[in-house]
Amino acid sequence: MEYANRIKGIPPYLFAEIDREIEKKKNQGIDIINLSVGDPDLPTPDHIIKALSEAAANPANHQYPSYAGMPVFRQAIAKWYDDRFNVKLDPADEVMALIGSKEGIAHIPLAYINPGDVALVPDPAYPVYKIGTMLAGGTAYSMPLLEENDYKPRLEDIDKKTASKARIMFLNYPNAPTGAISGKDFFREVVDYAVDNDLIVLHDNPYSEMTFDGYRAISFLEIKGAKDVGIEFNSLSKTFNMTGWRIGMAVGASEIIAGLGKVKENVDSGAFQAVQVAAVKALGGARDCVNKNMRIFEKRRDYVVDSLNAAGWNIKKPKATFYLWFNIPERYDSSISFCSKLLDKTGVVLTPGVGFGTHGEGYVRCALTQPVERLREAVRRIEESDIR
Ligand SMILES: *Cc1c(COP(=O)(O)O)cnc(C)c1O
């Protein structure tokens, strides 16, 4: 059976080789410490699980949901954006429920990209921006995120011809995989650029609550004029340890939300209402559970960074996300060869930076998604090996 061209063009799964190596090691009885998974290991808070159980028992929630999301959920999102970011949203047409934000990110190019159109995509980045663009027949143009520019793209470097063909721009701050953050100045520049070049800004903000050291992340929609040119994706996945529940949202310009809705009403039938009811509980509840999580991630971050730096590594503490992003030792010629050697010598798995794009080469990502005892064991093995 021959694949259609649109999926033939999708690059092979870069981590397949590492996955095979992990499997082989496990079969040899080697204890693997996997720090490559971007999925919180902590459980969903009890009050949210309880809300789901109750809502699941209610037959009113057993039928097809509305594709845009239940009014109570959309109202809860609007209130949360108002309380948290002072961003006013009309729940009627500026808020849409998603089956996890990945779903919306992957679908929106279908609404705005014609074959040959360009999407401006950061590199390194969450792979879905580029692949979603390709599935719609578009071309992804890489905007390099370089350390020397604090992992922000230099908009003035995008050539005029590409900019004129671009219909959409993806951005993501707090940023995965780099942990970088953005202030209002950069977002203001983005709004101006979008107006000048007549393009749509799609800001992905699933780490807005995963911040450290008192830092509070902003919403792209806080910027004057942002709601005329863009939307923001957010999610309960990381904030409330709900990755498996598949619930998120798109908020912002009503016209853009409507375009996404047009695709969605034809390809899915909404998120299970009981999950939406539980999400209302999560968004409306006290912040304690989020703060408690972040204290756990902060301890892990401090432990790993402080102990590896004491052993000669040079790792910066990110202000947000649960990732560490750092250079591989100079003697390795690629992030894949480093990760493969690391796995061989220590049983510790990190993600090679090149998996997030060409400009991720030379870096690795460490996800802090294991308890501190396992992180301690990982650090011990790294220190005792001659991997550096
Ligand atoms: C986790 C993640 C998402 C997707 O989250 P959902 O579970 O689909 O809501 C989107 N973007 C980035 C950068 C992520 O890390």
Cα-based distances in Å from 234 to 161, 184, 275, 295: 31, 18, 16, 21
Q: Is 235 in the pocket of ligand 1 (CB under 6 A)?
A: yes
How far does the centroid of ligand 1 lie from the alpha carbon of residue 323, in Å? Answer: 13
d(CA 250, CA 106): 12
**Residues 63-95 pLDDT 10s:** 999 989 999 999 999 999 999 999 999 999 999
The residue to mutate among 37, 101, 236, 251, having the most atoms of ligand 1 within 8 angstroms of its beta carbon, is: 101
Rg from Cα positions in the chain: 21
**Nearest ligand 1 atom to alpha carbon 246:** 7
Q: Tokens standing for 164?
A: 């004129």
Q: Tokens standing for 81?
A: 């954006």
The residue to mutate among 39, 126, 321, having the most atoms of ligand 1 within 8 angstroms of its beta carbon, is: 126
**Nearest ligand 1 atom to alpha carbon 172:** 13
Beta-carbon contacts of 284 under 8 Å, excluding residues fewer than 6 positions away, are 76, 79, 80
- For 354-382, letters b (16+ CB in 10 Å) and e give bbbbebbbbbbbbbbbbeeebbebbbebb
Tell me what pLDDT residue 21 has.
Answer: 86
Tell me what pLDDT residue 14 has.
Answer: 65
Tell me what pLDDT residue 17 has.
Answer: 73
Q: For the chain, which ranges sit under pLDDT 50?
A: none
How far does the centroid of ligand 1 lie from the alpha carbon of residue 39, in Å? Answer: 9
**Residues 253-277 pLDDT 10s:** 999 999 999 999 999 999 999 999 9
How far does the centroid of ligand 1 lie from the alpha carbon of residue 387, in Å? Answer: 31
d(CA 298, CA 82): 27
**Nearest ligand 1 atom to alpha carbon 238:** 1
Tell me what pLDDT residue 29 has.
Answer: 95
d(CA 383, CA 370): 18
* pTM score above 0.95: yes
**Nearest ligand 1 atom to alpha carbon 321:** 15
Tell me what pLDDT residue 9 has.
Answer: 80
Phi-psi region of 29 (alpha: psi -120 to 50; beta: other; left: phi over 0): left
Q: Is 234 in the pocket of ligand 1 (CB under 6 A)?
A: no
Q: Please, what are the domains in the chain? A: 5-43+288-384 (3.90.1150.10), 46-284 (3.40.640.10)
Residue 205: how many CB atoms within 10 A of its CB? 22
The residue to mutate among 107, 208, 237, having the most atoms of ligand 1 within 8 angstroms of its beta carbon, is: 237
Q: Is 243 in the pocket of ligand 1 (CB under 6 A)?
A: yes
